[in-house]
Homo-oligomer: A and B are copies of this chain.
Amino acid sequence: MVIETVPKASRVARGAFLKADGPITVDNWQDPPFNRWGFSHVAEMVTTAVVSRHPPTELTEERSGLPTSDTVAAIITDGFLEETHTEAFLVMRGQEVLHERYLGAARPTDRHLLMSVSKSLCALVVGRLVGQGLIDPGVTVPSYVPDLASGAYGLATVQQVLDMTVSVDYSEDYHNPAAHVHEQDRVAGWRPSHDGDPADTYEFLTTLQPAGEHGRVFQYCSASTDVLAWIVENVTGRRYADVLGSELWSRLGCSEDATVTVDRGGVAFANGGIACTARDLARVGRLVLDGGRVRGEEVVPRAWIEDTKTGGDRAAAEGTVFQRIHPRGSYRNQWWTTGDDRGTFYATGIHGQFLWLDPTSDVTVVKLSSLPVAVTEETSRKHAEAFNALTRALA
């Protein structure tokens, strides 16, 4: 596949249809002509609370009427869910919901932050666009994002970005306030900004520098997913949230809209900012287990799903905590492949977010949590063991 066209504009603006001078900001969104866009996108400019169309849980008793499986409950006990700070837990076998639990103040219609499960959703969109011939994984990033020509991604292929084998001078240490991942949080509006921070995520991405040869070592770098989202925006000419909606969310029969956080510049935080309900995330799981199809329609090419399930370069992931838990594990297309004899693969995010898929028993497990610590080997292992016990019992 040869990509003939390089996008002229390297950034899709908010309200591009306005043909207005300058970006839409918190200073001008109420003024003409920006208000033509701003009044329909207020949640992008100001933080918002949901005014739910659903009765509160105590009125509907929806939680007590949920499906319960003794088999599931015996393995994933309420005690386990409590001690792992779970808000939502859902198990499907085939198309059937076997077990569904909401804890604390959570209810089935609440959107919960997915953290890095967002990455795996981004890659499904990339896979669809690859199928449409809009993205060639074999070419380098600047083919689609000229702004990234001189930095860490200048020589990286899209596939290397998908597989997290780009060598970037980037620290993903969640516990170190000086780490790049913290700077990125600030730029995204997830933490208070500091003087001198880049104006938005795209500007931040252009500051990143290479650290070595690409394609050899697995380096989990959240920024790489944001590079994928930038590619998505440039090849479609539409904003990431809109593409995610039209190409994925609206094709799954979702019961609620999702949201994705956006920064001051309007750039979506593709690497971790999606929030959705447990039920809708389970629909993503079914899409993937069903080879990318929903009710006979191809949403993501089967070949893309197969390639993802097959996994990536095991040698590249040598020495990682992931391989201590899953010795034959690898990372491919923003998904974690265990390499176990069941073909288990999954999406995961810090603080206990999981979309766990077992093709052998055709089981989807969703767990959305708020663990006190971002990630530890112990909690990762504990969840993997519990989910493995569960899927074996359901086979």
Contact = CB atoms under 8 A, between A and B. Distances in A.
Interface string A231-261: 0000000011110111001111011111111
A47 B261 contact: yes
Interface residues on A, range: 35 or more
25 contacts: A17-B104, A26-B190, A26-B191, A30-B190, A32-B372, A35-B351, A35-B370, A35-B372, A39-B351, A42-B261, A43-B47, A43-B261, A45-B47, A46-B189, A46-B273, A47-B189, A47-B263, A48-B273, A50-B257, A50-B259, A51-B260, A51-B274, A53-B254, A53-B257, A54-B257
Contact of A36 (B48, B85, B191, B239): B85
A363 B230 CA distance: 47
Interface in A318-340: none
Interface in A248-294: 249-252, 254-263, 266, 268-269, 273-276, 280
A87 interface: yes
A46 B44 CA distance: 9
A296 interface: no
A113 B42 contact: yes
Contact of A53 (B33, B51, B250, B262): B250
A53 B368 contact: no
Contact of A49 (B54, B262, B280): B262
Contacts of A50: 43, 241, 245, 257-259
A40 interface: yes
A53 to B, nearest CB: 4
Contacts of A36: 85, 87, 104, 370
A246 B55 contact: yes
A24 to B, nearest CB: 12
Most buried by B among A33, A191, A251: A191
A40 B245 contact: no
Contacts of A35: 351, 370, 372
Contact of A42 (B45, B252, B259, B351): B259
